[in-house]
């Protein structure tokens, strides 16, 4: 009997030890997960601060460029050969690196120029139609874009679409009937599928109506669409011919011998519609911070009025491999698939001389 009781006691002790060991193991696992989550949050916050620091650096570079333009005899000219447009190698920081680049947002076609001042800007619409044709996309997209912008409920031609068309979709929604707040809205417009959007997105911007395109920094595809019969290859040649100083004014650009075959009517229409210039006020900053193999990417849009008046009008946290975020100078291919793709609140940044 005594041996039996001893056996039961031993089993009880072993059971208690096993339960205690299991509890300790579970607690250690939970603790490890908590530590891992905390480290991930800390890395994320650290990366976010590095991205903001890169944004601040870009603002200072743009401010310095404005000061240089003010002191230059050529005046206010923005070209892809200035310091703001150059590629910078990743900058080493604790636990990783941070990289950034600046692009001229006015080197793209502004969708909001199609409808301005309460009516369709026919010159801008013609340019967009030629861009669609050049990229072999459905020409009816132009009509649908007009309807997305204008305030009425009357479809433009057979390819247009107002709210009654969109309300028949699943899920239903209404036409914006206002300016594009972001190029991504184009994905909601009739006729713009994923393939079409992928082609158009790098060539477009959504700036305030009336913001001209910079002839010195235009994408070749957009420059080709400005004029009837101009090819992308010819556009590339025209842009190269302006190097390195760039075209000093619109007239200087329009008088280029390489535009000899372009009609005077096309040139006059662009100038009269105020669709072109040789300087810029809106820039896109793409920043990427890599900390402990985790990447956080930020896009910011900067509005520059002067060397002392620069404002962050929009920030967007994006996936590291999103369009425009893959930088040739990146030394790492690490990505964080958990990074959100959400629009961040606008912030402000100002500098003083």
Indicate the number of domains in the chain.
Answer: 1
pLDDT digits (tens, 9 = 90+) for 180-203: 999 999 999 999 999 999 999 999
Question: How many Å apart are CA 210 and CA 276, to the nearest integer?
Answer: 10
Indicate whether 219 belongs to any domain. yes
DSSP string, 326-351: --TT-------TT---EEEPP-----
Proportion of the chain above pLDDT 70, given as a percent = 84
DSSP string, 34-64: HHHHHHHHHHHHHHHHHHHHHHHHHHHHHHH
Nearest to 210 by CA among 282, 135, 154, 130: 282
Indicate whether 309 belongs to any domain. yes
The number of beta carbons lying within 10 Å of the beta carbon of residue 277 is 21
Pairing of strands 294-306, 282-291: antiparallel
Q: What value does the mean pLDDT take over residues 300-327?
A: 81
Indicate whether 58 belongs to any domain. yes
What does the mean pLDDT of the chain come to? 84
Indicate whether 153 belongs to any domain. no
Q: What is the pLDDT of residue 72?
A: 85
Indicate whether 79 belongs to any domain. yes
Backbone angles phi, psi at 182, to 5 degrees: -155, 150
Q: Are 248 and 215 a contacting pair, CB within 8 Å?
A: no
Looking at residue 147, the DSSP 8-state letter turns out to be: H
Indicate whether 254 belongs to any domain. yes
Structure tokens at 63: 């401010």
What are the b/e assignments for 167-196, b being 16+ CB within 10 Å? eeeeeeeebbeebbeebebbebbbbbeeeb
| R_g of the chain, CA atoms, integer Å | 28
Q: What is the pLDDT of residue 4?
A: 67
Indicate whether 155 belongs to any domain. no
Range of the domain at 337: 43-138+191-353
pLDDT digits (tens, 9 = 90+) for 127-158: 999 999 999 999 999 999 999 999 999 999 88
pLDDT digits (tens, 9 = 90+) for 259-299: 888 888 888 999 999 999 999 999 999 999 888 878 889 99
Q: Strand runs (DSSP E) across 234-344, as ranges?
A: 276-277, 282-291, 294-306, 309-318, 342-344
Predicted TM-score of the model (pTM): 0.79
Indicate whether 177 belongs to any domain. no
């Amino acid at each position: 009997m005594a041996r039996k009781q001893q056996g039961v006691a031993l089993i009880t002790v072993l059971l208690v030890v096993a339960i205690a060991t299991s509890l300790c193991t579970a607690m250690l696992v939970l603790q490890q997960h908590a530590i891992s989550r905390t480290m991930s949050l800390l890395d994320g916050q650290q990366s976010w601060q590095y991205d903001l620091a890169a944004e601040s650096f870009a603002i200072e570079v743009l401010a310095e460029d404005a000061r240089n333009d003010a002191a230059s005899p050529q005046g206010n000219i923005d070209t892809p050969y200035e310091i703001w447009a150059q590629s910078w190698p990743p900058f080493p920081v604790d636990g990783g690196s941070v990289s950034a680049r600046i692009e001229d947002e006015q080197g793209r076609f502004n969708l909001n120029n199609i409808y301005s001042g309460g009516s369709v800007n026919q010159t801008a619409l013609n340019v967009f139609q030629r861009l669609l044709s050049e990229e072999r996309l459905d020409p009816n997209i132009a009509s649908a874009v007009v309807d997305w912008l204008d305030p009425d409920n009357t479809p433009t031609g057979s390819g247009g679409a107002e709210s009654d068309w969109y309300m028949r979709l699943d899920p239903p929604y209404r036409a914006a009937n206002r300016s594009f707040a972001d190029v991504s809205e184009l994905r909601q417009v009739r006729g713009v599928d994923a393939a079409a959007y992928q082609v158009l997105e790098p060539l477009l911007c959504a700036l305030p109506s009336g913001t001209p395109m910079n002839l010195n920094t235009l994408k070749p595809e957009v420059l080709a669409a400005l004029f009837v019969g101009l090819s992308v290859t010819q556009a590339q040649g025209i842009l190269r011919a302006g190097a390195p100083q760039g075209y000093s004014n619109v007239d200087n650009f329009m008088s280029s011998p390489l535009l000899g075959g372009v009609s005077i009517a096309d040139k006059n229409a662009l100038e009269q519609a105020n669709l072109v210039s040789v300087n810029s006020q809106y820039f896109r900053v793409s920043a990427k911070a890599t900390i402990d193999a985790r990447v956080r990417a930020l896009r910011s849009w900067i509005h520059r009025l002067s060397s002392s008046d620069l404002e962050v009008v929009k920030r967007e946290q994006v996936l590291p491999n999103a369009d425009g975020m893959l930088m040739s100078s990146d030394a790492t291919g690490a990505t964080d698939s958990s990074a959100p793709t959400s629009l961040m609140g606008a912030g402000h940044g100002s500098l003083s001389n």
